[in-house]
A = this chain, B = another copy of it.
């Protein structure tokens, strides 16, 4: 009912934002495990207990950061993909893939929060489902557009087994009109994409792959080819 923002509400929003900003900085330097409410409070010149007026627990603060991360990654992917001509399906795939990697490399700890090992004792509340699928929604649209344009020509084999048909229906919500085989090929391609980014961000390529952007680009093209997405 109250569309007018009282002074208290305004300063509360301000402080909430300041808390998440400082927390995000801490996250960027020390990782999720190093996020300390007391340190945030100290940096704000507050007493630690005052933070609990804004976030009832450390996990709630973490949840806010996770949702922000989902949205930041999703927005980065959306923007990169939106800059491509609609019919350049391979170009859109490459742009979206590089956007994922670029964001992950720039924000490794935030990326770890969303695609890495779950934080112990913490489980994502339902609030995150809305933001969680932004990146993958973009990828699904690319696959669906390519399929509906008749530009997807995957090989005939191997075919998915019958028992995964029900699961395919769940995933198809992201790429309407696409047959089961393509659904699973899309999943495999995403797996290649995010698996590669995980390898790189989590340090598995150290002392092994140096030309990381070029190597990733090639992996992206291999994944597109496996999908049946031609040049």
Which residue in B33, B121, B191 is a CB contact (below 8 Å) of A196?
B191
Say if the beta carbon of A198 comes within 8 Å of chain B: yes
Given contacts A170-B209, A194-B195, contact A218 B121 (CB under 8 A): no
Which residues on B sit within 8 Å (CB–CB) of A215?
Answer: 164, 167, 184, 187
Which residues on B sit within 8 Å (CB–CB) of A219?
Answer: 184, 187-188, 191
- Interface bin, chain A: 35 or more
Given contacts A120-B32, A121-B30, A171-B208, contact A188 B184 (CB under 8 A): no
Number of this chain's copies in the complex: 2
Residue interface bits A172-203, CB-to-B below 8 A is 1, else 0: 00000000000011011011111110110011
Q: State A192–B218 Cα separation when bound (angstroms).
A: 14
Which residues on B sit within 8 Å (CB–CB) of A214?
Answer: 161, 163-164
Which residues on B sit within 8 Å (CB–CB) of A84?
Answer: none
Stretch at the interface among A10-18, A74-82, A109-117, A139-147: A109-117
Residue interface bits A208-220, CB-to-B below 8 A is 1, else 0: 1111001101110
Query: Mostly helix, strand, loop or mixed at chain A's interface?
Result: helix
Q: State A198–B193 Cα separation when bound (angstroms).
A: 12
Say if the beta carbon of A222 comes within 8 Å of chain B: yes
Q: State A161–B216 Cα separation when bound (angstroms).
A: 11
Asked whether, in the complex, the Cβ of B116 is within 8 Å of the Cβ of A222, the reply is no
Asked whether, in the complex, the Cβ of B198 is within 8 Å of the Cβ of A164, the reply is no
Which of A160, A163, A164, A167 has the most C-beta atoms of chain B within 10 angstroms of its own C-beta?
Answer: A164
Which residue in B116, B118, B161, B218 is a CB contact (below 8 Å) of A218?
B161
Asked whether, in the complex, the Cβ of A202 is within 8 Å of the Cβ of B160, the reply is no
Say if the beta carbon of A157 comes within 8 Å of chain B: yes
The 4 A-B pairs at the shortest CB distance, nearest first, are namely A195-B195, A31-B120, A116-B117, A112-B117
- 21 of the cross-chain contacts (CB-CB < 8 Å) are A30-B121, A31-B117, A31-B120, A32-B117, A34-B120, A115-B204, A116-B116, A118-B203, A161-B214, A161-B218, A163-B211, A164-B215, A167-B210, A187-B196, A191-B192, A191-B196, A193-B195, A194-B198, A195-B196, A222-B226, A226-B226
